[in-house]
Structure 1
Amino acid sequence: MASIGEIVDQTPSAEILSRARQRAILVPDCMVEARRIANTVISGWHGRRKRGIGENFWQFRPYADGESLARIDWRRSARDDHTYIRDKEWEAAHTVWLWADMSPSMMYKSTYAGVSKESRALVLMLALAEVLARSGERIGCPGIMEPVSARNAAERLATALVHAPPSTGLPQTEMIRGASDIVLIGDFLDDADRIMQRVAPLARRGLRGHVIEVADPAEEIFPYSGRTEFTDPETGEKLTSGRAESVREIYRNAYLARRENLGQSLRRMGWSFIVHRTDHLASEALGAVHGYLSGNPPRMVPNTSAGVGA
């Protein structure tokens, strides 16, 4: 996944070691920030309640033909001329797979943002893990951590991330079995068709997907002018433009067209798509994805592409 950025030339083994050290330093701070965000907004959220097998009462609803007569609440039904079913709340834990792109392009941070794309992606993943763990859900990370149901699932995920191998794109998902949710967080700068080739089989397997595109504001507004050298953080290839402002419109059209194509393809497949800029509050994206997971999607999907600032 290419991005506007600059990296220092290193041998492959030295670069891998350097990235591992940087992540080890970054993750603890991200965990602290994730917990702060989760604590700030979780008071207004509730567990993902739904009808099913359990002990706790959820709601009364009209009886439908074919349902078991044993589920009728006769006392409630005696109050008027309708027959009511007494629903209980589903109590089985659900599995949610969380993944954040940690490839070199995610290290990018312009002067328009206070954090890198990688830092924001990790904060979103860990904050979501914290919220879901408190709701009793099972949390896993493809290729890094098997699903666990524990109050400290976010901490365990953070520890696993410190020792995770380098990321080279979308995750391997062979270990995911059965219906579950998967949340993918990254910059998704590859061609939309190429990304869809990887994620479409997941939808066919029954996974419900939620994609969060994390973008640096400079990647959208392209503020460069004059002679500018751009470096691909994935390949190290360089491109020098004598008048960078002359390609601004062409670049922006291509960048936004890629995003639009990806979003439309994901929505046609039944997945959600959220755009989040690093100069905006992490709680915006966190609230949106939690809404999708809860079955209460936001009325307006956050797309913070206008202006710079929180």
Structure 2
Amino acid sequence: MAPIGQIVNPTSGSDALARARQRASLVPDCLVEAKRIANTVIAGWHGRRKRGIGENFWQFRPYTEGESLSRIDWRRSARDDHTYIKDREWEAAHTIWLWADMSASMMYKSNYGNASKEGRALVIMLALAEILARSGERIGCPGVMEPIAARNAAERLATALMHAPLSGGLPDTTMIRGWSELVLIGDFLDDAAAVMTRIGPLARRGLRGHVIEIADPAEELFPYDGRTEFTDPETGSKLTSGRAEHVREAYTRAYLSRRDDLGQALRHMGWTFVSHRTDHLASEALVAVHMYLSGMPATAAHGGHP
């Protein structure tokens, strides 16, 4: 729950329409910011290249006994006393499915955050799309956009998001087939066991996944004192605390326990987990997820920091 007055609860038809318009107006600015952030980290993005069958040169490496002599690069080998193999890059495009939670709880922004959770989720999602598209990957969004391999994938995803219906909860993934990876971005405030009930079957289908938790600082720190009224953005129900500071310790313990349980459960089934706060730079989460997508170790910690 969040302090009343900071979240709109879109329960009526007019509220839902206003909510859709708000998201549509938010996306263009998020795309501009996403491209700016992508450009700051693109120099360190080496793609996900693998050795294999392809046309592009990847590297020279020493010849190993038993390999085909036809693979030896005699010109390179003539330069010194070693024999070298010319490896080529594996060019099979991968499909990366990107999804960001657009439910009502994501609209929250306290005075401690630099952006709403929704805005930050969209920026990270579109920045990932931009960088992955430049690396030649196929980009899709469950229920919003079919996978495409195009340099303007981020722009096309942004357009699709502007016209997508409002939805909550995890996406329908029945359309995802084959060698795909799934990046889920949201606040994941439900009980960890409930979240894993939805995510677990995806891992059992062989999908590799990455979860990015977006948190507002106030949700983690609970900086409230005195009489405070909270409202649930999903249901509209309210809770009044006469002395909010008296529940801070119990709340913080429960909040962090939920995060730890979710992260441990995801890692146990082979997925990755990054927690990101909206008072940190969006590039921190982007770099952390990039490391995972590239198959390199990264620290799944708050904001991407150790």
Report if TM-score (shorter chain) is over 0.5.
yes
Task: Count residues in correspondence.
Answer: 302
Q: Do structure 1's residue 4 and structure 2's residue 2 form an aligned pair?
A: yes
1:69, CA displacement in angstroms?
A: 5.2
1:71, CA displacement in angstroms?
A: 3.5
CA distance in structure 2 between the partners assigned to 1:159 and 1:107 by the alignment: 20
Residue-by-residue CA offset, 1:148-185 (whole Å, 9 max, x unaligned)? 01111000000000111112110100111111111100
Structure 2 counterpart of 1:160: 160
Contact kept, 8 Å, 1:284 with 1:302, in 2: the verdict is no
User: Identity of paired residues, percent?
Assistant: 75
CA distance in structure 1 between the partners assigned to 2:211 and 2:98 by the alignment: 10
Structure 1 counterpart of 2:102: 102
Contact kept, 8 Å, 1:41 with 1:283, in 2: the verdict is yes
> Secondary structure of the residue that 2:114 maps to in structure 1?
coil
Amino acid at match of 2:302: N
Question: 1:10/1:289 Cα in 2 relative to 1: closer, same or farther (>3 Å)?
Answer: closer
> Secondary structure of the residue that 2:110 maps to in structure 1?
coil
> Secondary structure of the residue that 2:90 maps to in structure 1?
coil
1:199, CA displacement in angstroms?
A: 1.1
CA distance in structure 2 between the partners assigned to 1:61 and 1:241 by the alignment: 66
1:64, CA displacement in angstroms?
A: 6.2
Structure 1 counterpart of 2:34: 34
Report the RMSD for the aligned CA atoms in angstroms: 2.1
Which deviates further from its counterpart, 129-138 or 66-75? 66-75
Q: Do structure 1's residue 88 and structure 2's residue 74 form an aligned pair?
A: no
Structure 1 counterpart of 2:23: 23
Structure 2 counterpart of 1:261: 261
Amino acid at match of 1:292: Y
Q: What pairs with 1:91-170 in structure 2 (closer than 5 Å)?
A: 91-170=91-170
1:94, CA displacement in angstroms?
A: 1.1
TM-score if structure 1 supplies the norm length? 0.91
CA distance in structure 2 between the partners assigned to 1:212 and 1:285 by the alignment: 8
Question: 1:262/1:67 Cα in 2 relative to 1: closer, same or farther (>3 Å)?
Answer: farther
Structure 2 counterpart of 1:174: 174
CA distance in structure 1 between the partners assigned to 2:303 and 2:131 by the alignment: 23
Residue-by-residue CA offset, 1:187-241 (whole Å, 9 max, x unaligned)? 0011111111111111122211111000000011100010111100001110111
Residue-by-residue CA offset, 1:4-36 (whole Å, 9 max, x unaligned)? 244446653222211110001100110111011
Amino acid at match of 2:241: S
TM-score if structure 2 supplies the norm length? 0.92
Question: 1:80/1:86 Cα in 2 relative to 1: closer, same or farther (>3 Å)?
Answer: same
Amino acid at match of 1:134: R
Which deviates further from its counterpart, 89-98 or 249-258? 89-98
Structure 1 counterpart of 2:239: 239
Amino acid at match of 1:176: I
Q: Any stretches of 5+ residues in structure 1 without a counterpart?
A: none
Structure 1 counterpart of 2:300: 301
Structure 2 counterpart of 1:186: 186
1:48, CA displacement in angstroms?
A: 1.8
